Amino acid sequence: MIASLPVARLQDQFGDAVALHAPLAKFTSARIGGAADVLLTAGSAKQLAAMVTVLWETETSFLVMGGGSNMLVSDAGVRGVVILNKARKVKIDREAATVWAESGSNFGAVARQCGRSDLTGLEWAAGIPGTVGGAVVGNAGAHGGDVAGNLILAEVLHHQYGRQEWTPAQLEFEYRSSRLKYHPGQAVVLAASFKAAHGDAETIKQKMDEFLAFRKRTQPPGASMGSMFKNPPGDFAGRLIDVAGLKGLRVGQAQISELHGNFFLNHGDATAAEVFALISQARQTVKEKFEVQLELEIELAGEWKA
Ligand code: EPU
């Protein structure tokens, strides 16, 4: 398989940023998953764009991994190329009350940095575990806020049109989704800018601390993928799984949290197959009991049987 990949060209152009047969588990928040044939580590948005350009030119399939927080990587790993996005430059414009961040920046850290600069509006994002790029693609949200409500522009690299700036309207945001999620592989987020407003660092911090305390109270610590399913219209995935009596259900080292039904935990060396067995069980039981089809919020990466 690896023979069909443009390894020599990638090594020539990106040197040490190229790793072969690289285990992915340690780059995911669930600490689960096999190896990528080729792992490229992008240190800047410029390098990310250069890598993606080579992969498109050579018609090589790839996926971009940010914080690995919303993803379940299969035990067999990922055939082809994974780009680990470590493009993390952040620029705050206090006067304009805006922030620009490269797509590999941790979104929660960006929000907290804004707060320390007296910029209000991103408090909801303080505890978001993933990256700015992942947050844009999946229209991340919490505590009533979401990316669609704060985004000014996303700088994307499009496979056909090159570098573009997309407005929220062009991104076609929906609940936990966007045009980038519907059409994976067409465009990659390089950076994004967000609007905030002038506020007071102390008040902002208080609000963030409240949100963080809520998460701590209602969501389990430990290795997980965050919310497993999207909330179905008018209800909550966690509530449905709870009322179905599935909290605490265990397959091997994987378990549905006893604290929050929409969190699936890895207690040590859980496999992706074990987590997937819990996903199937939760879907089936919730369908039988409540006639609700739960949709995954997380992305399945790598090789999965249909
Ligand atoms: N609930 C139960 N039993 C449970 C879990 C929840 O009855 O086991 C009930 C709660 O009592 C509450 C409702 O379900 O009435 C919703 O639960 P919660 O307030 O914990 O929020 P959520 O809808 O499960 C969403 C986001 C989280 C975000 C929180 C806080 C989704 C799928 N999840 O969770 O996002 O942190 O709101 O704003 O939208 C993530 O996306 O990874 C994530 C953690």
Query: Can 297 be counted among the known catalytic residues?
Result: yes
Out of 262, 263, 294, mutate this one to test ligand 1's pocket (max ligand atoms within 8 Å of CB): namely 262
Q: What are phi and psi for residue 87, nearest 5 degrees?
A: -80, 110
- In the beta sheet, which residues pair with residue 40? 18, 83
CB 142 near ligand 1, within 6 Å: yes
CATH of 220-301, one of 3.40.50.720, 3.90.550.10, 3.90.78.10, 3.40.630.10: 3.90.78.10
Delimit the domains of the chain by residue range. Answer: 2-85, 90-217, 220-301
Residue 131 Cα to ligand 1 middle (Å)? 20
User: Is the pLDDT assigned to residue 213 strictly greater than 90?
Assistant: yes
Ligand 1 atom index nearest CA of 175:
39
Q: State pLDDT tens for residues 24-78.
A: 999 999 999 999 999 999 999 999 999 999 999 999 999 999 999 999 999 999 9
Helix H, strand E, coil C: the string for 182-202 is HCCCCEEEEEEEEECEECCHH
Q: Which fold has domain 90-217?
A: 3.30.465
Helix H, strand E, coil C: the string for 235-287 is CCHHHHHHHCCCCCCEECCEEECCCCCCCEEECCCCCHHHHHHHHHHHHHHHH
What's the confidence (pLDDT) of residue 3? Answer: 76
DSSP 232: P
Query: Can 193 be counted among the known catalytic residues?
Result: no
Confidence of residue 2 (pLDDT cuts 50, 70, 90): confident
- In the beta sheet, which residues pair with residue 266? 223, 254
Q: State pLDDT tens for residues 89-146.
A: 999 999 999 999 999 999 999 999 999 999 999 999 999 989 999 999 999 999 999 9
Pairwise CA distance, residues 68 & 222, whole Å: 14
User: Is the pLDDT assigned to residue 305 strictly greater than 90?
Assistant: no
- Report the SS3 class of residue 213: helix
What's the confidence (pLDDT) of residue 224? Answer: 97
DSSP 77: -
Residue 263 Cα to ligand 1 middle (Å)? 9
Query: Can 176 be counted among the known catalytic residues?
Result: yes
Confidence of residue 285 (pLDDT cuts 50, 70, 90): very high
Cβ atoms 198, 118 nearer than 8 A: yes
230, 232, 235, 238: CA torsion to nearest 10: -40
Q: Are strands 264-266 and 223-224 parallel, antiparallel or unpaired?
A: antiparallel
CATH of 2-85, one of 3.30.43.10, 3.30.70.60, 3.40.50.720, 1.20.120.80: 3.30.43.10
Confidence of residue 185 (pLDDT cuts 50, 70, 90): confident
What's the confidence (pLDDT) of residue 4? Answer: 86
CB 238 near ligand 1, within 6 Å: yes
Q: State pLDDT tens for residues 215-234.
A: 999 999 999 999 999 999 99
Greater model confidence, 1 or 40: 40
The residue from 102, 176, 257, 274 that is catalytic is 176
Residue 115 Cα to ligand 1 middle (Å)? 24
Residue 230 Cα to ligand 1 middle (Å)? 10
Q: State pLDDT tens for residues 239-268.
A: 999 999 999 999 999 999 999 999 999 999
